[in-house]
């Protein structure tokens, strides 16, 4: 056993050294968007050489490969990848033949901190856990709790902070602010405890940063041979060392939240409404599975909104006519004053919108969906092939192959979205009269997954984004600072690599109510 372990170590080390050698040579030559299938190493060097710009690279490759590509890893790894953003392939994988494309056992290893939870399982366990989660998230009391937590964080955290920044004309990182906001209102309904990241003290975001590390290393684990990242984990080096520290931070955070919840004696109250209450007395959920499930709720609830809203405001900053259109749609709501909650902390009235105010606002939702098209929170989705199959595109996949689907590339395909795919145009989501949202099938828009694993919290997430977006757009003018590079971070979560520095002003010509 020791001999084979050492042999695996030597092979992996040689692959890494050979990859590094080829990368050095290839960077001296003219680069090409199409990956080179190197002898022995396959397409791994091309992939590693473009990790700094992975999403755009994959998009370019798929655009020149009729939206699908078979790729090979190093010879010794047996790694075969099928990469696609073809809508017909996506429908086949996610819906028509979804049973043949599970996440697979490797997925649980890649995201081991959530292993055993709904995020990593297939089959009967998936159906059972999904049914439980759907029951929790469809409970009217839970929906009400989540919306009230979002509203509270907007009114008492987000808006006051932006008001201070407007008064002092101080530049700040919008992505950092939204991350704090999303983390707080996600965790509150889980534990009935406010983490307080959006408080005036702006404490360190250790747990949120640990979640970011999980998603960043998760991407690296998906695109490299398992032997490589397992070697780094064994040596406790590189990103694997940081991930281990991140795991410890998240475990500690969950324990602290449970202790704070316990201190409030919530377990003794039979009528408590929070996520923990729905699992804590279930014998199926031992300590490890309960912890993995709670971390899943944190990741799923925070990541969609925390990554999407910064890109949304980035798009608005470049398209002032969209801002005007959203404000025009909000004006009747403000004038009605029927449900608008107002405060008068200064000379200008701040308006915070209730979920019911925003339910019928189709242009605001279209603007959010259009941003999600270009910048989906999960830019890559991984599946495993159970049995040999033929894709609608004609590509043959074999049992054990890895399938990578790119929602990021899907939103940038001219064949799907037309010649104006580069344009941020909310109108593409509206009916001809602009009064209704146009139906777009999920296999053409994967921001919320598709098929039997469609995102259960989709409607809740859209509601929460609307609450924050409406309050900010109505009350403030925002400007993105120049001379900053805006590009995606290398992660399973589509964050901005360098954040988003902005300034805000209180609106001068705001309607007084």
The answer to whether 202 and 181 are in contact (CB under 8 A) is no
Dihedral, CA of residue 339, residue 177, residue 466 and residue 348, to nearest 10: 40
DSSP state of 122: -
User: Which residues have a Cβ under 8 Å from the Cβ of 112 and sit 6 or more positions away?
Assistant: none
Q: What's the token pair of residue 199?
A: 């408080």
Cα–Cα distance measured from residue 147 to residue 62, given in angstroms and rounded to the nearest whole number: 39
- Say what angle helices 174-191 and 140-153 make with each other, to 10 degrees: 140
Cα–Cα distance measured from residue 317 to residue 258, given in angstroms and rounded to the nearest whole number: 40
CA 359 to chain centre: 23
Annotated binding residue 492: no
Q: What's the token pair of residue 65?
A: 């490969």
Cα–Cα distance measured from residue 311 to residue 315, given in angstroms and rounded to the nearest whole number: 6
Distances (CA, A) of 117 to 105, 162, 383, 384, 466: 12, 37, 16, 18, 29
Q: Please count the other Cβ atoms lying within 10 Å of the Cβ belonging to residue 245.
A: 11
The answer to whether 189 and 149 are in contact (CB under 8 A) is yes
Instruction: Order the strands of the 501-506 sheet from edge to edge.
Output: 172-173, 501-506, 476-480
Phi, psi dihedrals of residue 86, rounded to the nearest 5°? -70, 120
The separation between the first and the last C-alpha atoms of the chain, rounded to the nearest angstrom, is: 76
Cα–Cα distance measured from residue 293 to residue 133, given in angstroms and rounded to the nearest whole number: 10
* Strand intervals (E) in 300-401: 341-343, 350-352, 381-384, 389-390, 396-397
Distances (CA, A) of 273 to 266, 295, 437, 442, 459: 9, 18, 33, 32, 19
The dihedral built from the CA positions of residue 16, 22, 28 and 30, taken in this order, carries a sign that is negative
Question: Which of 70, 87, 85 has the alpha carbon at shortest distance from 34?
Answer: 70
DSSP state of 507: -
Query: Binding site residues, as ranges?
Result: 455
Query: Binding site residues for heme, as ranges?
Result: 455
């Amino acid at each position: 056993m020791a001999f084979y372990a050492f042999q695996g170590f030597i092979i992996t080390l040689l692959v890494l050294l050979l990859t590094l050698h080829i990368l050095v040579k290839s960077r001296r030559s003219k680069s090409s968007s199409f990956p080179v299938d190197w002898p022995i190493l396959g397409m791994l060097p091309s992939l590693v050489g473009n990790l700094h710009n992975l999403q755009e690279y994959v998009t370019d490759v798929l655009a020149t490969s009729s939206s699908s590509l078979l790729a090979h890893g190093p010879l010794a790894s047996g790694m075969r990848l099928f990469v696609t953003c073809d809508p017909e392939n996506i429908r086949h994988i996610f819906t028509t033949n979804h049973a043949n494309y599970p996440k697979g056992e490797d997925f649980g290893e890649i995201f081991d901190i959530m292993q055993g939870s709904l995020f990593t399982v297939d089959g009967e366990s998936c159906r059972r856990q999904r049914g439980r989660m759907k029951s929790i998230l469809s409970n009217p009391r839970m929906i009400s709790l989540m919306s009230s937590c979002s509203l509270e964080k907007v009114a008492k955290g987000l808006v006051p902070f932006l008001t201070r920044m407007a008064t002092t004309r101080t530049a700040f990182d919008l992505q950092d602010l939204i991350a704090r906001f999303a983390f707080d209102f996600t965790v509150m309904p889980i534990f009935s405890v406010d983490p307080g990241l959006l408080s005036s003290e702006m404490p360190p975001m250790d747990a949120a940063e640990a979640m970011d590390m999980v998603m960043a290393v998760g991407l690296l684990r998906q695109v490299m041979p398992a032997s490589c990242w397992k070697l780094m984990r064994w040596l406790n080096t590189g990103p694997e060392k940081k991930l281990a520290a991140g795991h410890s931070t998240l475990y500690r955070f969950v324990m602290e939240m449970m202790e704070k919840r316990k201190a409030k004696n919530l377990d003794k109250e039979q009528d408590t409404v929070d996520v923990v209450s729905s699992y804590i007395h279930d014998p199926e959920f031992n300590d490890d599975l309960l912890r993995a499930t709670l971390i899943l709720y944190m990741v799923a609830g925070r990541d969609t909104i925390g990554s999407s809203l910064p890109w949304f405001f980035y798009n608005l900053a470049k398209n002032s006519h969209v801002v005007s259109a959203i404000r025009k749609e909000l004006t009747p709501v403000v004038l009605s004053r029927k449900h608008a909650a107002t405060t008068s902390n200064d000379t200008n009235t701040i308006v915070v919108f209730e979920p019911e105010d925003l339910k019928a606002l189709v242009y605001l939702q279209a603007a959010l969906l259009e941003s999600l098209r270009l910048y989906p929170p999960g830019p890559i989705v991984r599946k495993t092939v159970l049995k040999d199959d033929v894709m609608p595109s004609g590509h043959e996949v074999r049992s054990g192959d890895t399938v990578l689907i790119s929602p990021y590339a899907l939103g940038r395909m001219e064949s799907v979205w037309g010649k104006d795919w580069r344009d941020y145009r909310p109108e593409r989501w509206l009916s001809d009269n602009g009064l209704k949202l146009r139906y777009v099938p999920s296999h053409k828009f994967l921001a919320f997954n598709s098929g039997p694993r469609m995102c259960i919290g989709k409607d809740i997430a859209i509601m929460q984004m609307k609450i924050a977006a409406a309050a900010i757009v109505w009350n403030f003018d925002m400007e993105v600072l120049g001379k900053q590079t805006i590009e995606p971070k290398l992660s399973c979560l589509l964050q901005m690599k360098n954040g988003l520095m902005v300034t805000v002003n209180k609106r001068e010509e705001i309607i007084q109510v």
